[in-house]
Amino acid sequence: VPSERDILDRLRRFSPGIGDDCFVYRPSPGEELLFTTDLLIEDVHFRRSTHSASDIGYTAAARGLSDLAAMGAAPRFLMLSLALPKWADSRFAGRVFAGLREHGVPLSGGDLSHAPLLICDIVACGSARRGTSLRRSGARPGDSIYVSGSLGGSALGLAIGHGRALHRHLRPEPRIALGEYLRARKKATAAMDLSDGLSLDLARLCRESGVAAEIEAPPIFPGATIEQALHGGEDYELLFTSHSFVPLLHKGVPITKIGMIVAGQPGAVLLNGRKLRALGYDHFARQK
């Protein structure tokens, strides 16, 4: 079992704020702060057979950062609480931190403990100009619906366990630059990140906005099925609505129009004119 001091010494090398009782953040005037927290638990959200230590650190941070991207926030800092099982030594903890650091966002605090299973609890803080953060509730009939990138890659990677799709599953890229662009340029009326599958997440966005949606098939990750693209989780692409001009590409990330917001039963989604059931991530969990 690694000693707390051993792990803290590793942290101190790249996280100079660690050592005081609290981390002090001084927001600038006119800035609003956004916070999100996310749990990553062994055998619930990942397995040791698929995720290395650095994959775990990377993924924990990616999930929080994707939530910041969803609202157009610029990441400011991360906090990580880590509970380690007996098999995890301090080098393992160091590799978790290394995976987290791949995102280039400061790690400003956290906690260490022991548990029978590995548990990562991440807090991500971002900021935006006051009053400009993107919400799920702003979509209106007549808005176009867009997704970034392609969908289903993460579900495919989990299913087949190799290749580009597995990389996609282990190293999803939070769409931070795109989120900030959409917010700062007032391009999106509503936005969220796709963590639980398009069918479920689009229904959630529509419910928050009190509207319905009519879509066609989304862009599909090479090799994935339409079911994986519609219902597979953990792609961490952005889903947003807009009534202004949206480019087809932003900093190398494709943006595709997949449909329109319409008036109707809040949360109802039609795919090619047929009701799309919100199966989402739970469905895939049960199939495995």
Which parts of this chain interact with Mg ion (CB under 5 A)?
67, 193, 195
Query: Locate tokens 């495919």: which residue?
Result: 156
Q: Is the CB of 55 or the CB of 193 nearer to Mg ion?
A: 193
Find the shortest distance in angstroms from Cβ 273 to Mg ion.
28
Find the shortest distance in angstroms from Cβ 233 to Mg ion.
11
Find the shortest distance in angstroms from Cβ 27 to Mg ion.
23
Q: In this structure, are residues 241 and 139 in contact, taking their beta carbons and an 8 Å threshold?
A: yes
Q: Is the CB of 193 or the CB of 214 nearer to Mg ion?
A: 193
Q: In this structure, are residues 201 and 147 in contact, taking their beta carbons and an 8 Å threshold?
A: no
Other Cβ atoms less than 10 A from the Cβ of 248: the count is: 9
Q: Is the CB of 2 or the CB of 152 nearer to Mg ion?
A: 152
Helix (H) or strand (E) holding 203: helix 198-209
Handedness of CA 228, 279, 230, 175 (dihedral sign): negative
For the chain, how long is the longest CA-to-CA vector?
A: 60
Q: Is the CB of 92 or the CB of 236 nearer to Mg ion?
A: 236
> How do 253-262 and 212-215 pair as beta strands?
antiparallel
Find the shortest distance in angstroms from Cβ 183 to Mg ion.
15
